[in-house]
Amino acid sequence: MKIAVSATGGSMSALVSEQFGRCAYFLIVDSESMRFEPVSNPATGMSGGAGPEAVRVIAAKGAEVVLTGRVGPNAENALRAAGIRLAGGASGSQTVRQAVEEYLKAAGR
Amino acid sequence: MIVSVASGKGGTGKTSVACALAQSAGRGVCLLDCDVDEPNAAILLHPTIRESVPAAILLPVVDDAKCDGCGACAKVCEYHALTVLGDRPVLFEHLCHSCGGCALACPKGAIREEPKAIGKVHVGDAGGVAFVSGELDVGEVMCPPVIRQVKARAPRGMDLIIDCPPGTACPMVASVEGSDYCVLVTEPTPFGLHDLTLAVDVVRKLGMPFGVVLNLADIGDDEVDAFCAREGIPILARIPFDRALAEAYSRGKTFVEAKPEFRTLFAGILYGIRCQGAA
């Protein structure tokens, strides 16, 4: 399963970004191998519509779940349309690796 | 002659000043309440509404049978209101500016535009002052189209007084645009001055003459006066902090109803604007 995590940097030890649409990076993490691909978020500087654009980017990378803090209403609708599960409420004091491990543990994997 | 009443900071007395100007103008004047998020001129003017019509915008509708998911519509959308997710464009209608670009760009002719009501325009009369007001529906976000539809309903041949929304963003620009003169209402506080300077920048960009009405003029500090002197901005009137005005306002009465002698002051402002060369 591919998990997208909103992050402040491009590595697994970067902190989670609580912002979804305007985070600096998405990390696309493969939950089986824990291999990851950092994707620089093109929506960061957009004046409007950042949420849907960010969803388009992670959908194109095959993400099935997104770990983040909060999403806006447009992003929420876009996630629904793209069939990506939202796992919100992630804390910005966690690293991406911690957030993914915690999510997998809670999901019983 | 079209005179818009704007402010920058909210709560400085735009509506009070706009209503007083309209009531002091004599015959053939119409007040347009363009503060469509929170229209409140009716609270002071008590108009009789003759007609309420829906204010609609056009939104794209995608025909799934014709759409092949090419994404041409999303690519042309400056506001990212359309995004291809899965293999179909999804509309985020609150981002849409109704430009119609997507329908033109679609190579399959799969997009048509359909009207959606997002508010209402009320037309009426308030004791010799013609009245048009806009009202954005709860949950809607696009003020400018409703504001433009209020302006389109203004009776021909009348002088217009436009009660504008606060701030300096699109709704304020849509309201002020096309005026012969802009009256900026402020108060002598750091907040009032700060937002006045922003409003002055906007009105200068729009290229129209403007002046300041200083409300609650005998309290606060002298910084607005100093700013206006430095920038060569005329102060059209100083309205004192007066309990009688506040009490009248709380009962839905205008400045000129509370103090009939104010009619001369506000008529004088309009006369001055007219003499400056406005139509």
Name every chain B residue with its beta carbon within 8 A of the beta carbon of A78.
Answer: 83, 85, 90, 92
CA distance B150 to B131: 10
Select from B79, B84, B86 the Cβ nearest to the Cβ of A49.
B79
* pLDDT tens by residue, B191-207: 999 999 999 999 999 99
Q: pLDDT-based confidence at A102, cuts 50/70/90? A: very high
For the four alpha carbons of B122, B161, B250 and B135, in that order, the dihedral sign comes to positive
DSSP codes, chain B: -EEEEE-BSTTSSHHHHHHHHHHHS-SSEEEEE--TTS--HHHHH-PEEEEEEEEEEEEEEE-TTT-----HHHHH-TT--EEEETTEEEE-GGG-----HHHHH-TT--EEEEEEEEEEEEEEEETTEEEEEEEEPTT---HHHHHHHHHHTSPTTSEEEEE--SBSSHHHHHHHTT-SEEEEEE-SSHHHHHHHHHHHHHHHHHT--EEEEEETTTSS-SHHHHHHHHHT--EEEEE---HHHHHHHHTT--HHHH-TTHHHHHHHHHHHHHHTT--
Residue A107 DSSP SS3: coil
Amino acid at B128: G
Select from A49, A59, A77 the Cβ nearest to the Cβ of B80.
A49
Q: Which two tokens stand for residue B101?
A: 């670009």
Arithmetic mean of pLDDT over chain B: 96
Q: pLDDT-based confidence at B137, cuts 50/70/90? A: very high
Q: Which of B261, B214, B217, B204 is nearest to B234 (CA)?
A: B214
* pLDDT tens by residue, B5-17: 999 999 999 999 9
CA distances (Å), origin B43, targets B1, B70, B100, B202, B208: 25, 51, 37, 28, 29
Select from A59, A74, A82 the Cβ nearest to the Cβ of B92.
A74
- What whole-number percentage of chain A has pLDDT above 90? 88
What local confidence, expressed as pLDDT, does residue B38 receive?
A: 95
Q: A108 pLDDT exceeds 90?
A: no
What local confidence, expressed as pLDDT, does residue B277 receive?
A: 67
What local confidence, expressed as pLDDT, does residue B96 receive?
A: 96
Q: B279 pLDDT exceeds 70?
A: no
* pLDDT tens by residue, B56-115: 999 999 999 999 999 999 999 999 999 998 888 999 999 999 999 999 999 999 999 999
Beta bridge partners of B84: B89
Q: In which residue are the tokens 């402040």 written?
A: A8
- What whole-number percentage of chain B has pLDDT above 70? 99
Q: B264 pLDDT exceeds 60?
A: yes
Q: Is-contact B278 B180, C-beta < 8 A?
A: yes
Residue of A nearest to B81 (CA): A49
Q: A19 pLDDT exceeds 90?
A: yes
Name every chain A residue with its beta carbon within 8 A of the beta carbon of B80.
Answer: 46, 48-50, 52-53
Specify the DSSP class assigned to residue A17.
Answer: P
* pLDDT tens by residue, B87-103: 889 999 999 999 999 99
What local confidence, expressed as pLDDT, does residue B193 receive?
A: 97
Tell me what the mean pLDDT of segment A38-62 comes to. 92
Tell me what the mean pLDDT of segment A7-11 comes to. 95
Q: Which of B114, B170, B165 is nearest to B145 (CA)?
A: B170
What local confidence, expressed as pLDDT, does residue B72 receive?
A: 96
Q: pLDDT-based confidence at A48, cuts 50/70/90? A: confident
CA distances (Å), origin B190, targets B112, B170, B186, B199, B213: 50, 24, 10, 14, 16
Tell me whether strands A25-30 and A2-7 are parallel, antiparallel or unpaired: antiparallel
Name every chain B residue with its beta carbon within 8 A of the beta carbon of A76.
Answer: none
* pLDDT tens by residue, B4-57: 999 999 999 999 999 999 999 988 999 999 999 999 999 999 999 999 999 999
CA distance B236 to B226: 15
- What whole-number percentage of chain B has pLDDT above 90? 96
Q: Which of B250, B248, B270 is nearest to B259 (CA)?
A: B248
Q: Which of B277, B239, B271 is nearest to B255 (CA)?
A: B239
